[in-house]
Chain A
Amino acid sequence: MTFKTQLEAPKNTQEIFITRTFEIPLEDLFEAFVLPELFEAWMGTNVIHLNAIQHGSYAFETSHQGKVMLRAHGVFHDVIKNAQIVRTFEMEEQIFPAQFEILNFEKISEESSKLSMHIVFQSIYYRDEMLKLPFSYGLNMAHERLEELLNNKNKK
């Protein structure tokens, strides 16, 4: 199994580098980050507002079974069409303070493109905790499923 998404998180740094090659044209890749209806579709979220212009901002919330699981927002420092987005990102009601994100978009061919994301956290601690988040989330899901099964079993 090979991954199309490359991830680098050098030890004792407060950064994460994510790169990915897409089999879609550069223009389409860029649109996926700046058009609200497209951003919603691939992030599986509900965009409250998204104004991808210099000094613009965005906010979205992700729900699961009618319950809001995550609210996040940020501002756009720079938006250069088909080239670069510099933005902040912060999840609400979480321990994490805002993080800084630089997204570089490159054309590879007419039908393929590349995204390089550079995320900078406020400290090594927050970087490491963010890396752990999907790990513990998967665990919680497994535990919840287990509890559900046990509850159903007990009801029988």
Chain B
Amino acid sequence: MNLRRDVFQAIADPSRRAIIMLLATQSLTAGAIAANFESARPTISKHLQILTECELLKQEHLGREVYYHFNAKKMKEIDLFIAPFRSLWENRFNQLEAVMKNHKTKK
């Protein structure tokens, strides 16, 4: 269960989803991945670490380089798309609760 929760947290972040999309069709080194983003290199490294820990990405050592590739098998285990959809409703409903609590104190 812990791992599953980590996967959902991992893909809750838009930058990490962008990394997944980037690696969907190709394997890249950390440097090449970072070159696609404005974020600082350590930030991208942290994203890669999180994605690797929950097995959405796999590392492959080729000579001195480490290539990251997308673990399609893992993606089949979870439904990648559900987490952001759920977050959308979670945020809406949090807002609803806040609005109604506020509305009530005004009454």
Query: A residues within 8 Å of B by Cβ?
Result: 1, 3-5, 7, 9, 18, 20, 22-24, 28-29, 31-32, 38, 41-44, 115, 128, 130-135, 137-139, 141-143, 146, 149-150, 153
Contact = CB atoms under 8 A, between A and B. Distances in A.
Nearest to B6: A1
A41 B97 contact: no
Contacts of A28: 100, 103-104
Contacts of B98: 42
B100 A133 contact: no
A31 B100 contact: yes
Interface residues of B, number: 33
8 nearest A-B residue pairs (beta carbon): A142-B14, A134-B84, A42-B96, A149-B38, A5-B90, A7-B86, A138-B14, A135-B84
Interface stretch (B26-34, B48-56, B57-65, B74-82): B74-82
B97 A38 contact: no
A40 to B, nearest CB: 9
Contacts of A143: 18
Contacts of B38: 146, 149-150, 153
A5 B89 contact: yes
Given A28-B103, A138-B14, A146-B38, A7 B85 contact: yes
B100 A135 contact: no
Contact of B90 (A4, A44, A133, A137): A4
A118 to B, nearest CB: 13
Given A5-B86, A28-B100, A42 B21 contact: no
B99 A41 contact: yes
B5 interface: yes
A18 B91 CA distance: 13
A28 B18 CA distance: 39
Given A135-B85, A142-B17, A146-B38, 5 more contacts: A5-B90, A9-B79, A24-B100, A135-B80, A149-B38
B97 A22 contact: yes
12 contacts: A4-B94, A5-B93, A9-B79, A20-B93, A22-B93, A24-B104, A42-B99, A43-B92, A115-B93, A133-B85, A139-B14, A139-B18
Contacts of A24: 97, 100-101, 104
